[in-house]
Structure 1
């Protein structure tokens, strides 16, 4: 399967400022790129550099001039076309045996307050067999607990607040599921990326980036999605971190007004591929 994806995001900067972007396809999927995922900027005087952060994500740093600036990319990527794998017999790894790079993902973080959700987690899921079944029970609970709606979005909502308010967007589903997993010593990390309407009914809502999470089971990271609660096709990961703080797609260090936001994620139909050939 081939997928076309990309974005067009514009700001009006009130003064010269640094802008950090986390919009590039993650390094572990870049070998699947068919056409380059290259950032285009309409202000040639903007100075651009790129680095890899402590979580292995690609970060683009822009020294933006005052005034309007637009960032864009449009690329094609190969995908297996298979849904998220399910390994129902996956077992947990004891905390004392976790690799060093996994340890940060059993701790509380800005949006995932394990200290405030631990009693909820153990009272609801403590009797469920550790491993895949326990994580799936958490996913089921979060999926039913939170009502999705873009009008519910709030950038400061934490996992505990999402649990109590019972409303949110995809990041709130991910934060609550991550916090409940970590409360039970299950390593979990927050993910952001592209997820189009592939293999599911078309949604008329504007396309956006999506959030899901990964859990360390059976010695590797596995994908879960509390918002959709079903295996999906065509995820393209951009970044992973402890929570949304680590993977903000844009971070402006000054006053900048968002003037345009557009995301594209769609399967390239087989007939289009044949015509191109």
Structure 2
């Protein structure tokens, strides 16, 4: 599937401020960047970084005053597979070394505090893929998608208590429950077609059968319309903008649209 993406951030910085920005889609085998451009409305010297493990791309620079940062891209994300019930959970000894950190508790995903619940609630579920699907079903039944009940500091444990939150909270809770079941899971920032209202989206991935599978615990966006930006232990690793000092977000908006049956050159024109 080909997707056109336009993402715009408008921020104000009271002083020269170092920032790290992650709004460009990751380079990975399952999504191809056909064309793209990055527009910043003030002179900025960029230091570009790419994570060899996830393909995530970030840039570092210094900004001041009011700044607009816009990403425009045409992405072909192929065919996104859904998590399969028969996907096998690997033993720890079978996991690649780079996957091991995603078994462990992290700042926003204290999976050790949810282990007793997860292992009792899902003890009758056998396979790895089946466990993931059972976690998603449980969340759909017991957690409400509600704005305003959480903050940027809310952890998966608090969401488990409140039984409500937004996409970031759903992702953290899903990750924590999977890790509590010995399933490697990591947070993913993404662009998503058909998300209403359009915005950056937080989902997660689980490692089964030797590969990462994208899942949306909110079930608000179809997996086939997902474009991955960055991946990490939790939201602290995948923020679209991180600044060295306080700044003000004046506005941001995201547009993701499907381009059906068009050639890349026509779509990019």
- Provide Cα deviations, 1:100-148, integer angstroms capped at 9, x if missing partner: 0010000000100012111110110122113111111111112222211
User: What is the alpha-carbon distance in structure 1 between the residues aligned to residue 230 and residue 38 of structure 2?
Assistant: 16
Aligned residues: 267
TM-score (norm 1): 0.89
User: What is the alpha-carbon distance in structure 1 between the residues aligned to residue 265 and residue 67 of structure 2?
Assistant: 37
For structure 1, list consecutive stretches of 5 or more residues without a partner in the other structure: 198-202
- 1:265 aligns with 256
User: What is the alpha-carbon distance in structure 2 between the residues aligned to residue 127 and residue 208 of structure 1?
Assistant: 37
**1:149 Cα deviation (Å)?**
2.6
> Higher mean Cα deviation, 155-164 or 212-221?
212-221
**1:49–1:241: structure 2 CA closer, same or farther, 3 Å change rule?**
same
> Higher mean Cα deviation, 222-231 or 151-160?
222-231
User: What is the alpha-carbon distance in structure 2 between the residues aligned to residue 18 and residue 131 of structure 1?
Assistant: 42
User: What is the alpha-carbon distance in structure 1 between the residues aligned to residue 264 and residue 27 of structure 2?
Assistant: 26
**1:271–1:168: structure 2 CA closer, same or farther, 3 Å change rule?**
same
User: What is the alpha-carbon distance in structure 2 between the residues aligned to residue 165 and residue 227 of structure 1?
Assistant: 16
The runs of at least 4 consecutive aligned structure 1 residues that moved more than 6 Å come to 271-277
For structure 2, list consecutive stretches of 5 or more residues without a partner in the other structure: none
Contact 1:84 1:231 in 2 (8 A): no
User: What is the alpha-carbon distance in structure 1 between the residues aligned to residue 214 and residue 30 of structure 2?
Assistant: 19
Contact 2:33 2:75 in 1 (8 A): yes
- Tell me whether 1:76 sits opposite 2:74 in the alignment: yes
User: What is the alpha-carbon distance in structure 1 between the residues aligned to residue 178 and residue 103 of structure 2?
Assistant: 8
**1:275–1:130: structure 2 CA closer, same or farther, 3 Å change rule?**
closer
> Higher mean Cα deviation, 50-59 or 261-270?
50-59
Corresponding residue to 2:240 among 230, 239, 249: 249
User: What is the alpha-carbon distance in structure 1 between the residues aligned to residue 240 and residue 7 of structure 2?
Assistant: 11
> RMSD of the TM alignment (CA)?
2.4
Secondary structure at the counterpart of residue 85 of structure 2? coil
Corresponding residue to 2:210 among 215, 219, 239: 219
TM-score (norm 2): 0.91
